[in-house]
Structure 1
Amino acid sequence: MPSQERKANTVPLDWKEVWYTNCPMVSANNVDQELGWCREEYKKIGVEYDYFRHAEGNNWYPHYIHNLDNLIRFGGLYPPIHVNADIRRTVLLGATWVNEGGCMAVRASDNLFQMKDLKGKKIGLTKSQNTIKNDWWRIQEHMGIENMLMLNDMTMDDVEIVEFPYPDDWYDDPQMLTPINNPSETWLKRDHKHDYAFRPLEKALLAGTVDAIYTQSKVFQHIQEATGQLAMIEDLTRYPDWRVQVANTPAVITCTEVMAKEHPELVVAYMKAMIKVGRWSNDHKHAAAAILNRQTFYLDAEDTYEGIKNVDMVPSLSAQNMQTIKIGKDFMFKHGYIENDFDVDEWSAPEFLEKAAAEVLKEEWERRSWSKLPEGGGLDAQNVRLG
């Protein structure tokens, strides 16, 4: 179906409902979809909280173009940058940084061991023909390839880039439009860790159509290496420079400007849950890894743990997170993946995270102080000595 004939369908707006969407990557929201703590926060204020594909009237496009006013998204970096630049104003609420960078994969049977061995060789690059949504796969590949070449004193001129256009039209497949209560249900119908639909260039590499392809570090990498057919001759995560680790990461939280301005309490409720789930995940990394393993592309639960053990699962708008977001945005603007530039600092709204953190601390203090103060207490308790 041509892109112009496709429709981004949504249900009627109801501010007593908040929809969420996430990408199959490392984030507190992906842990919470199994814990249900975010749903509890919304129940406290009388609001229904559900996965956006739970409603038959919502197709897949809101995940990419954020055309639901009451949607909160926690996922890959490039689509929300595209939305805020060219589609509609959104608000940046938090980010989770995972060093994933990218690898250069080659056939294990080939005599290729270093990036310089790829001079004059063919490297694959996908190209989505779907003009409704952002081509995040291609941006990730493009950025990773450029960084790997640059770090080895090479440029795109030293290799032959082979493009692979594809329809990218599964969003309208009736089989994919069955209502889903939980994102994990998507994978019940397919073995996503071994599904080539998520590694589209791998077959072209194995067939000899190209000599190398970009793949994500740790995510995908270890599954691909385990086949014995592929080897990684470069890995950006091995470099100390965090500036080359941006690869549709960090995962960011965004909501519409409409939600932030007209219903800030809905945003704060979400951020409270993300702080609570993030803290739990930091304290129980193996448990969080077991949950994330159901949705992500690490080799197994232990491999997932190795991938997240140094990740702070509590979202933040730290100086480093903000800089990585700027790096991703600047790359997209420089290479024409977005038409309009914008200020990332102005995009961010740290006040929601700050208010949520204050409320979480207040609740925690009230729980802990209840057994120690004569009549219970809150943060406004005065002239009472504890201990």
Structure 2
Amino acid sequence: MSSIAPAPGTAPTELWYTRCPVPTTSGIAQHFGWLHNAFAQQGITLASIRASADPAVRQSHFDHTHPNMFREGGNAPPIWARANGQNTAVVGITWVDEEQVILVRPDSPVHTLADLKGHRLGLPKQISSEHIDVGRAQDLRGLLTALSLAGLRRDEVQFIDVATDDSGGLREQVEHTDVRRHATSEALLAGQVDAIYAKGAVSATLIARHGLRAIVDFNQYDDALVRINSGTPRPITVDRTLALEHPQLVARYLAVLLRTAEWAHAHPDEVVSAIAAETASSVEAVRRGYGPQLHRSFEPKLSDDYVHALELQKNFFRDEGFLAGDIDFRSWIVREPLELAHKLANELAAA
């Protein structure tokens, strides 16, 4: 490791991790116990932020304030946290393509993106929130992408705010449930709006459950930049202090993810089952929402295209007023831990 060298000090005996309830490499690795085992071999406990009984600890999923934590998932909270001054580093990025659709009611006269002109688009808005309004940022990006693809301007449609509330906080999913409130789809079904954005297993479930009709799936476009949103790309972030003082621990975490991604290539069915558990969704919803190549999507990288896509998403949040200010994006990317992790992954494979 070149620019990151271990500093004197005692290594932590407890590390924390969190991941979003979407397909993540960390989610698969923790599902099978591989992350926990890798650190237990070093006498280190790995604890889940989302499983904590303390709301302040769970809040770190969004604001990244808890010490010695790793995060993998949607890009809105880590970008927002960095803009708010949290000293984090991006040490890897994954890209899991997912169904991204504009949904209308079955009897809607809207059949193409151009037909959205003059119609009402549902946009979630948090009643109160201590962090970035993830749902609003995500859906706004999706709806604006749809308008852009149709050559429509913002003032040619009407955005309708739909009140949402996630004040209960993000908790660890313990079992699959069919009871999941989705405010914008409720507004769509009630005729209060004419179209909404949805993605992944959620969109697949809404289509299956309510017969909603997709007028476009962004995956039909070859240009990957069309698919940039809160879930694509997904950064892996960590406390910069941990990366600077104990880079071997960060590399160990990433090495497990590299080995997990390699395993996933040969185990597509097991991957689907693990992601169904992670997202509290059905296997059928996962297969539809993330497609047949899901098992090939989990390798952490810091490739130029992944980094560029993440920067474009940061710019979107900045330009749309979701951030307190801009960030020094290039310094946010720390490459050395992933380079070391590739070497360590080979050692873990041998062990």
Normalised by the length of structure 1, the TM-score is: 0.81
| Gap change, CA 1:55 and 1:312, over 3 Å in 2 | closer
| Gap change, CA 1:94 and 1:41, over 3 Å in 2 | same
- 1:89: Cα distance to partner? 1.6
Paired with 2:277 and 2:348, the residues of 1 have a C-alpha distance of 31
| Gap change, CA 1:328 and 1:352, over 3 Å in 2 | same
**Pairing of 1:162-177 with structure 2 (within 5 A):** 162-171=160-169
Matched, 1:32 2:16: no
Paired with 1:295 and 1:195, the residues of 2 have a C-alpha distance of 16
| Gap change, CA 1:34 and 1:357, over 3 Å in 2 | same
What amino acid does structure 2 have at the position aligned with 1:237?
N
Q: Report what 1:321 is aligned to.
A: 306
What amino acid does structure 2 have at the position aligned with 1:321?
Y
What amino acid does structure 1 have at the position aligned with 2:206?
Q
Paired with 2:79 and 2:189, the residues of 1 have a C-alpha distance of 33
Match of 1:229 among 201, 204, 211: 211
Paired with 1:229 and 1:42, the residues of 2 have a C-alpha distance of 46
On the 8 A contact 2:96/2:294 being kept in 1, the answer is: no
**Pairing of 1:1-387 with structure 2 (within 5 A):** 15-57=12-54, 59-100=57-98, 102-171=100-169, 183-185=172-174, 188=175, 191=177, 194-197=178-181, 199-216=182-199, 218-227=200-209, 229-248=211-230, 249-296=232-279, 297=281, 299-300=284-285, 302-303=287-288, 306-309=291-294, 311-364=296-349
Gaps of 5+ in 1: 1-13, 178-182, 368-387
What are the Cα deviations for residues 214-242 of structure 1, in whole angstroms up to 9, with x where unaligned?
A: 111x4322222223531011221111111
What amino acid does structure 2 have at the position aligned with 1:331?
F
On the 8 A contact 1:65/1:87 being kept in 2, the answer is: no
Query: Helix, strand or coil: the match of 1:21?
Result: strand
Query: Helix, strand or coil: the match of 2:252?
Result: helix
Paired with 1:328 and 1:305, the residues of 2 have a C-alpha distance of 21
Paired with 1:307 and 1:251, the residues of 2 have a C-alpha distance of 19
On the 8 A contact 1:101/1:144 being kept in 2, the answer is: no
Query: Helix, strand or coil: the match of 1:337?
Result: coil
% identical aligned pairs: 27
Paired with 2:99 and 2:289, the residues of 1 have a C-alpha distance of 16
| Gap change, CA 1:49 and 1:32, over 3 Å in 2 | same
Q: Report what 1:378 is aligned to.
A: none
What amino acid does structure 2 have at the position aligned with 1:19?
W
**Greater relative contact order (Cα < 8 A, sep 6+):** 2
Query: Helix, strand or coil: the match of 2:107?
Result: coil
Query: Helix, strand or coil: the match of 2:150?
Result: coil
Paired with 1:112 and 1:48, the residues of 2 have a C-alpha distance of 53
What amino acid does structure 2 have at the position aligned with 1:232?
A
What are the Cα deviations for residues 75-111 of structure 1, in whole angstroms up to 9, with x where unaligned?
A: 1111100011113120001111122372111000122
Answer with 1 or 2: which has the greater Rg. Answer: 1
Query: Helix, strand or coil: the match of 1:103?
Result: strand
| Gap change, CA 1:101 and 1:53, over 3 Å in 2 | closer
| Gap change, CA 1:26 and 1:167, over 3 Å in 2 | closer
On the 8 A contact 2:100/2:219 being kept in 1, the answer is: yes
Paired with 1:260 and 1:52, the residues of 2 have a C-alpha distance of 19
Normalised by the length of structure 2, the TM-score is: 0.89
- 1:322: Cα distance to partner? 0.7
Query: Helix, strand or coil: the match of 1:170?
Result: coil
Paired with 1:160 and 1:240, the residues of 2 have a C-alpha distance of 29
Paired with 1:325 and 1:245, the residues of 2 have a C-alpha distance of 12
Q: What is the aligned residue count?
A: 337
Paired with 1:46 and 1:62, the residues of 2 have a C-alpha distance of 24
- 1:294: Cα distance to partner? 1.6
- 1:55: Cα distance to partner? 3.9
